[in-house]
């Protein structure tokens, strides 16, 4: 049986370092999940993870790139995982425009949604997922907030005003950085990575708002899977595949007054929150872990 030697290449693999002042990057969180579960797969002999400047071993069969602009491996098959969202304001054509410019660099493609694949071309679809060995119920009482949001203020002001600001009257807390008034009044700084599952477990309502490109391309936010894996309750903005995947286990809000009303409703219905969170966790554990996703990745590697 052919076993693969696989490399995963990211822009940076040190954002978890507590001595660093920068933000934890979603790329690294996902990349390390892939690395961990690829290394356990019976058809993978070697799984390495590299930063942008790291020297890759010469005998790799394939390198999966989480960034489309980094140096390629000279002999391995180079595969692009198009999981970054490139804003149209900075990159003409957004994510699809970036793909059109760099697609000839790679010999295979992995996408985060069927819609993104439809716009770009042949390849595999590997949605975001979670690592249940890290993200699992860890209630500790340290973060017993009514409503929270974890992330940076990189979404457009309109998105923040529509989906985050309505929670302010309910005692919203925000962890991350780059937040501007009025949301900066709810900002409590950055959250230590080990505390993230504790927050998701403790908080009554965990808010989610997709960045515009992910919403347009029907990519479910990573945060959804992580919160549900912790047995947390999520209130999110709308993405088509989110409804198709989780049904009413993840309530959807249109923002503004609708969000205000739904926060009020679910805060007063603890048993309903608990039921949805428990069923959501079961669904994530049975279908949406990195172990499940790596089966798709290895199958695609076999095909190419």
State how far the Cα of 199 lies from the Cα of 50, in Å rounded to an integer: 30
The model's pLDDT over 186-242, given as tens digits with 9 standing for 90+, comes to: 999 989 889 999 999 999 999 999 988 899 999 999 999 999 999 999 999 999 999
The model's pLDDT over 96-139, given as tens digits with 9 standing for 90+, comes to: 999 999 999 999 999 999 999 999 999 999 999 999 999 999 99
Q: What is the mean pLDDT of residues 244-268?
A: 98
Residue 12: pLDDT band with limits 50, 70, 90: confident
The model's pLDDT over 64-96, given as tens digits with 9 standing for 90+, comes to: 999 999 999 999 999 999 998 888 888 999 999
Omega before 182 cis (within 30°)?
yes
Residue 16 has pLDDT above 80, yes or no: no
Structure-token pair, residue 121:
């071309």
Residue 23 has pLDDT above 70, yes or no: no
- Please give the pLDDT value at position 160: 94
The model's pLDDT over 290-299, given as tens digits with 9 standing for 90+, comes to: 999 999 999 9
Ramachandran angles phi, psi of 149, nearest 5°: -140, 130
- Please give the pLDDT value at position 85: 85
Residue 185 has pLDDT above 70, yes or no: yes
Strand boundaries in 23-158, DSSP class E: 44-50, 62-65, 77-82, 108-111, 124-125, 147-150
Sheet with 205-208: strands ordered across: 173-175, 147-150, 205-208, 234-236
- Please give the pLDDT value at position 82: 96
Q: Whats the size of the chain, residue-wise?
A: 304
- Please give the pLDDT value at position 218: 97
Residue 27 has pLDDT above 70, yes or no: yes
State how far the Cα of 187 lies from the Cα of 160, in Å rounded to an integer: 13
- Please give the pLDDT value at position 84: 87
pLDDT over 70, % of the chain: 97
């Amino acid at each position: 049986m052919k076993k693969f030697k696989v490399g995963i290449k990211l822009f940076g693999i040190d954002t978890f370092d507590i001595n660093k002042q920068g933000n934890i990057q979603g790329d690294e969180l996902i990349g390390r999940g892939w690395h961990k579960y690829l290394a356990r797969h019976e058809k993978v002999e070697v799984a390495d993870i590299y930063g942008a400047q790291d020297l890759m071993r010469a005998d790799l069969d394939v390198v999966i790139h989480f960034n489309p602009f980094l140096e390629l491996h000279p002999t391995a098959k180079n595969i692009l995982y198009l999981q970054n969202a490139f804003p149209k304001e900075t990159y003409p054509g957004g994510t699809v425009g970036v793909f059109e410019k760099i697609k000839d660099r790679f010999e295979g493609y992995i996408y985060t949604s069927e819609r993104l694949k439809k716009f770009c071309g042949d390849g595999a679809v590997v949605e975001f997922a979670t690592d249940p060995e890290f993200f699992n119920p860890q209630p500790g009482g340290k973060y017993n907030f009514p409503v929270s949001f974890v992330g940076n203020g990189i979404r457009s002001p309109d998105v923040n005003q529509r989906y985050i600001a309505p929670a302010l009257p309910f005692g919203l807390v925000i962890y991350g950085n780059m937040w501007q008034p009025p949301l900066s009044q709810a900002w409590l700084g950055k959250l230590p990575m080990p505390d993230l599952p504790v927050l998701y477990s403790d908080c009554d309502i965990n808010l989610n708002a997709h960045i515009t490109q992910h919403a347009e391309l029907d990519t479910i936010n990573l945060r959804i899977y992580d919160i549900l894996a912790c047995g947390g309750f999520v209130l999110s903005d709308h993405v088509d595949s989110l409804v198709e995947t989780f049904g009413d286990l993840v309530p959807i809000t249109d923002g503004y007054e609708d969000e205000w009303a739904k926060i009020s409703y679910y805060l007063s219905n603890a048993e309903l929150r608990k039921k949805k969170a428990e069923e959501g966790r079961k669904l994530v554990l049975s279908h949406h872990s990195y172990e499940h996703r790596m089966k798709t990745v290895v199958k695609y590697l076999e095909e190419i």
